[in-house]
Chains A and B, each alone.
Chain A
Amino acid sequence: MDANFKKQLEQIACKVRIGIIESVHAAKAGHPGGSLSIAEILTYLYFKEMNVDPENPKDPKRDRFVLSKGHAAPALYATLAERGYFSPDELLTLRQIGSRLQGHPDMKNIPGVDMSTGSLGQGISTAVGMALSSKHFGDNYNVYTILGDGEIEEGQVWEAAMFASNKKLSNLTAFIDLNNLQIDGTIDEVNSAKPVDKKFEAFGWHVITIDGHDYDAIESALAEAKTVDKPVAIIAETVKGKGVSYMENAVNWHGAAPNDELFEVAMTELNAALAAFN
């Protein structure tokens, strides 16, 4: 990857993280940990990979994205705002009465949101439906989704995985955000779905494991995905809370907003990271 372009992506991801923290802080609620872990994946998808146009968000031929782990809505909203679907100022209305930015993504009202999600396990099935529609009607767009590693404890995920491989939905790519934490504790403590790679392989998917914060790895995985005649699972090993020191690998930041003091700490860290690019 071109070094300058990578630097641009890194700056964008940093702004996405700032958007996550600012919006969750303003809302006094939300899910920062699992939002911060997917900032690089979302940035790459919306700024490099996907054929989308903020000026024409309903283009029937566009690539689709489904945030199956819908509680990471702050990350999706911040990415869409950076991409130009709406003003970043609107991020501060997250979860407020009258705001378009619902606690979980709402496709009816938010430009750029392709599917309403939030109830775990359903998003991947809807992505499968989109990929099937693309193939069936010859529209030839690609479909991307991100699932949580806790989310894949839902049985519906595996119903969807079975169907997608049986129908050879090679236009479907699912990222699994393997950050090792869910609300009640670590994945291993709660009800681990590991080995995640072996499970998806057994369900007939092509599996690639990467560092989910490494743009070169994301790029090469998505390039590899286009060469196989199967749905592709990209197991993205990530750090929950990535970019905010006290949130990293800390289960208590799954679904809690920082108070004013901790907000300042987070913003100081993220602004310093952003300034380092200049």
Chain B
Amino acid sequence: MSEVKTVATRVGFGETLVEMGAERDDFIVMDADLAAATQTGKFKKAYPERFYDCGIAEQNMVSIAAGIAATGKKVIVSSFAMFAAGRAFEQVRNSVGYPHLNVIIGATHAGISVGEDGATHQCNEDIALMRTIPGMTVINPADDTEARMAVRAAFECDGPVYMRFGRLAVPVVFDETYKFEIGKGVELREGSDVTIIATGLMVKEALEAYDLLKAEGINARIVNMATIKPIDRDIIIKAAKETGAIVTAEEHSVIGGLGSAVSEVVCETVPVPVVKLGVYDQFGHSGPAAKLLDEFGLRAVNIVEKAKAAIALKNA
């Protein structure tokens, strides 16, 4: 097997902003003193006159962005997921969400894979928070390729967009022939025994789980669900009908994230077993990202266990 390139999704976010800066000058980028980490620093370096650092004041930054958007201009704000979605939640809801303004929130360092910074910075709740806001689009790219495509798509979106990026370098899963569309899940592997719906860095784990399951004679369907909201109901309903069992896999709390979004659709349409893999109602802690993903059970082997559990429920 050839060497797989690994790169953090936040890198594609920052570099795509720079590319778009060359193509158009009708948008502003803002950060809250984390530009080097979030990668908006690359845009700052390329277009310093179009970049505004708000300092360590995320609530103010989000409402300022709302004001800019209310004048008919595009604006991208960035911080860590913990602060963009968590600290500034009410500003996102009331300043941005309620008037349905064109603000793109590029939230980096999401999930447990933040690593050494520990629980205060490991945001496992942002998808849950953001998807409860009416009219909010929530995107969680799986790899570098998808992250770059998603940033471009967000520019064309009507209304606010929350984009979730990671700190950890993750394998590149897709090549340039990949087609990204907001609101569309993508079937990556065909299968009829169970469907694994994954998002973010769990997509790569799901593809590994496919191979592990196949070796045991289990044909799993693999779906990449980059857009958590609006969720692709059709691909979920089809999976429920055709495979009769679903596993969701996310680097996020099992409360309110992808697993909940999928369950909401399944419960009301084709009620089949849904087994959720994610962070189980607990805080993270410090450690190397890879070890944390092992410890919190966010690996292909864990998906395999859940897939078998889902199939057992289907056959019960």
What residues make up the interface of A, taking CB atoms closer than 8 Å to B?
Answer: 60, 64, 66, 106-108, 114-116, 118-119, 121-122, 125-134, 136-137, 139, 155-156, 159-160, 162-163, 167
Contact = CB atoms under 8 A, between A and B. Distances in A.
Contacts of A126: 63-64, 66-67, 70, 95
20 contacts: A60-B72, A107-B70, A115-B70, A116-B94, A116-B95, A116-B98, A116-B99, A122-B66, A122-B91, A122-B94, A125-B62, A125-B91, A126-B63, A129-B65, A130-B71, A156-B63, A159-B54, A159-B60, A160-B60, A163-B57
B60 A114 contact: no
Contacts of A162: 55, 57
Interface of B: 28, 50, 52, 54-55, 57, 59-60, 62-73, 75, 90-91, 94-95, 98-100
Contact of B68 (A107, A129, A155, A160): A129
A156 B100 CA distance: 21
Contact of A125 (B64, B72, B90): B64
Given A122-B91, A133-B67, A115 B99 contact: yes
Given A122-B95, A163-B54, A64 B60 contact: no
A123 to B, nearest CB: 8
Contacts of A64: 70-71
Contacts of A128: 60, 63-64, 67
A160 B69 CA distance: 17
B67 A137 contact: no
B244 to A, nearest CB: 43
Given A119-B90, A132-B64, A159-B60, A125 B71 contact: no
B99 A156 contact: no
Contacts of B71: 60, 64, 129-130, 133-134, 137, 139
A132 B67 contact: yes
Given A125-B59, A129-B70, A131-B67, 5 more contacts: A107-B70, A122-B91, A126-B95, A128-B63, A156-B59
A107 B69 CA distance: 12
A186 B201 CA distance: 53
**Which of A106, A118, A128, A129 is packed against the most chain B CB atoms within 10 Å?**
A129
A96 to B, nearest CB: 19
B70 A130 contact: yes
Contacts of B68: 129-130, 132-133
Contacts of B57: 156, 159, 162-163
B52 A167 contact: yes
A139 B60 CA distance: 23
Contacts of A60: 71-72
B200 to A, nearest CB: 30
Given A159-B57, A160-B60, A118 B70 contact: no
Contacts of B50: 136
Given A118-B94, A167-B52, A127 B67 contact: yes
Contacts of B55: 162-163
A221 B52 CA distance: 30
A115 B67 contact: yes
